[in-house]
Chains A and B, each alone.
Chain A
Amino acid sequence: MTTHSIVRTSALEKRFGGIVATQDVDLDIPEGELRCIIGPNGAGKSTLFALLCGIHAPDSGNIFLKDRDITALPSFRRVRLGLGLTFQTNRAFHELTVRQNLEAPFRLPQGGRSSTSEKRYQYALSTFGLDMTSDVPARELPHHRLQWLEIAMVLAGGPDVLLLDEPTAGLSPEETLQTARVLRHLNDDGLTIIVVEHDIAFVREVAERVTVLHQGAIFAEGTVADITAHDDVRRIYLGQA
């Protein structure tokens, strides 16, 4: 336990009316890790991300980013402290051009990204094949490029922690693999990444550790091998006896 946690939650809880979307979640993501979060539909994965980013306020519990309690901070402050999120359904700005999308993120008044962030951003642009000066409206891009555009856009803000909610939804196997490679590389470069993902092949490709959510709570946590061998996980998630 020498590595330092960058994102941490304690006893996080969220209800929507009668539905318990998140309960008793103690998440601890060490700096520099690439963590996958899996779980069946409705398990509360997206809700967890929404809580981390401040889209929803938790009913109880706390959220820490770099040891700072951010539970009461508005979303934009969390982003300025280093969080970056892509949504489950693509939310690049479809009516704006590729260039406008990439220029949209907040830049500190001193101007621009740190050299580390710049390197990551440029890497993502070139491997995703995105042209920073393109005046093509984003809506004219094929789906996989839109997905990549949203990731690149968030990287343009220079985050320290990247939250990706099902980034490979709707991508072909090759595109999924390409995405996995990029995330792997960014993570090797030191970026902390948390990915919600359904595709087990993808999870095998990228993750060190996996957290399984079930009915809003953490059901299991461990290495990919542990998790895929875990009988109960197979039962609830992989749909195998």
Chain B
Amino acid sequence: MKYLALLTGPEDIGQSRLFWAVFVLLVVNFLAGPLWMSEFEASNVSYYLLNLPMALGLCLLWGYCGVLSFGQVAYFGIAGYLYGIIAGNMRGDPWGPLLGEVGGLAACAVVSAIFGYFMFYARVQRWIVPILTLVLALLLETFLGQTAGYQWRVGSVQLGGYNGMTGIPWFQLGDLTFFGYSFYYYVVLVVLVSYLGCRALVNSHHGKVMLAMREDPLRTELLGYDIRARQLAVFVIAGVLAGLSGLLYVQWGNYITPSQLGLVQAALPVIWVAVGGRSKLLAVAISAYALNWITYSLSSAGNQYALVIIGGLLVAVMLFFPDGIVVTLARNMNRQALARLFRRG
């Protein structure tokens, strides 16, 4: 019961039974995907979904804690590259990919912990944080970009410079290899668990402290909290979630290039979060899915201007819905009859 209350608590959109009924229907619909989607389509949907953990992590950090990171792609890249190195070197070992996952996520946790420690314990001003985080991502990009030569290999895996790392192994658990429909199920599961986990976190007592820190860090500290440690904890969680997206990405496409850590990619998570509304997880989940779908559809149709369109959308949203589209819609719905229905459940 206590755990259920964490899921239905007030810090995200949707508390009523009707909401949860719709939510379960949606999940069932995703799970029944193979009934209404070809394997190719399922693979596309996997792609729209796989960035959600990174978006949700940034939502926790920025929306709930008030700390904007512009460099979540650094962790995306660290996990992706490390998975490629470990799983690539253990090719043939049925547990190599799992070890690659564990290694990639552990590296994200360690790097974000060290980096975050220096930022938060030095009490770096809040507006410096986005710059520092972005710098880390760009440094990694630059470093990886110059690894084109043959000497840049780890064991049997070539880093590949701007051509990227290719032939990254599928995810695999023993004899079970994940691609097509099975990979799709695995992504749906990871995204669902990430979302529900974040939701439980924001509704826990720690979540309330996050909101307090967002509004007034000093006041929060003077209520007895070590805000440095709390911000660091959320920073690490966000880093690991970004790493999770990086893992899913390389397992989906079997390659990664340094431009995944570049300026354009770094801006995208910020856009997904801002467009939906950074103050609510569900809003961010919806907008990250929708925007990835739009970008992917536009660019796979050969449209050169996908990013321009997404950027334009960001500007329009910031002008007309500064709190984000989904958050604004949900708030207005709350005021109307439909919402009453929703709440009564």
Contacts and interface: CB of A to CB of B under 8 A. Distances in A.
A154 B221 CA distance: 12
A109 B223 CA distance: 15
A230 interface: no
Interface stretch (A36-44, A90-98, A185-193, A195-203): A90-98
B227 interface: yes
Interface in B218-239: 218-227
A105 interface: yes
A91 B216 contact: yes
Give the secondary structure class of B's interface.
helix
A157 B224 CA distance: 8
Contacts of B215: 93-96
A103 B212 CA distance: 10
Interface stretch (A18-26, A75-83, A123-131): A75-83
Contacts of A87: 219
A74 interface: yes
A53 interface: yes
Interface string A44-68: 0000000001010000000000000
Nearest to B279: A95
Interface string A96-112: 10001001111100000
A80 B212 contact: no
Given A91-B216, A93-B215, A95-B215, A106 B223 contact: yes
A197 B219 CA distance: 21
Nearest to B230: A76
A85 interface: yes
B211 interface: yes
A135 B10 CA distance: 10
Chain B interface size range: 10 to 19
Contact of A79 (B205, B209, B216, B223): B223
Interface string B189-225: 0000000000000000100110110011011111111
B213 to A, nearest CB: 10
Contacts of A105: 223-224
Contacts of B226: 74, 76
Interface string A3-27: 0000000000000000000000000
A218 interface: no
Contacts of A153: 223
Nearest to A96: B211
Give the secondary structure class of A's interface.
loop
Interface string A147-167: 000000110010000000000
B220 A104 contact: yes
Contact of A93 (B10, B216, B224, B225): B216
Contacts of A85: 222
| Most chain B beta-carbon neighbours within 10 Å: one of A75, A104, A135, A153 | A104
Contacts of B10: 135
B218 A104 contact: no
B221 A93 contact: no
B329 to A, nearest CB: 20
B221 A75 contact: yes
Given A91-B219, A93-B215, A93-B216, A103 B208 contact: yes
Contacts of B219: 87, 91, 93
A105 B211 CA distance: 12
A104 B212 contact: yes
Contacts of A94: 215
A100 to B, nearest CB: 6
Given A55-B218, A87-B219, A104-B220, A76 B225 contact: yes
Contact of B222 (A79, A95, A96, A100): A79
Nearest to A107: B205
A87 B216 CA distance: 12
B223 A157 contact: yes
Contacts of A55: 218, 222
A95 B221 CA distance: 17
A100 B216 contact: no
A107 B208 CA distance: 13
B63 to A, nearest CB: 13
Nearest to B211: A96
Given A93-B212, A104-B208, A104-B212, A154 B218 contact: no
Contacts of A91: 216, 218-219
A94 B216 CA distance: 10
Contacts of A100: 208, 211-212
Nearest to A94: B215
Contact of B225 (A95, A96, A106, A154): A106
Contacts of B216: 91, 93
A53 B222 contact: yes
18 contacts: A55-B222, A76-B221, A76-B222, A76-B226, A79-B221, A79-B223, A91-B218, A93-B212, A93-B216, A95-B215, A103-B205, A104-B209, A105-B224, A106-B224, A107-B205, A135-B10, A153-B223, A154-B223
Interface of B: 10, 205, 208-209, 211-212, 215-216, 218-227
Given A76-B226, A93-B219, A106-B224, 11 more contacts: A74-B221, A91-B216, A93-B211, A93-B216, A96-B215, A104-B208, A104-B220, A104-B223, A105-B223, A105-B224, A157-B223
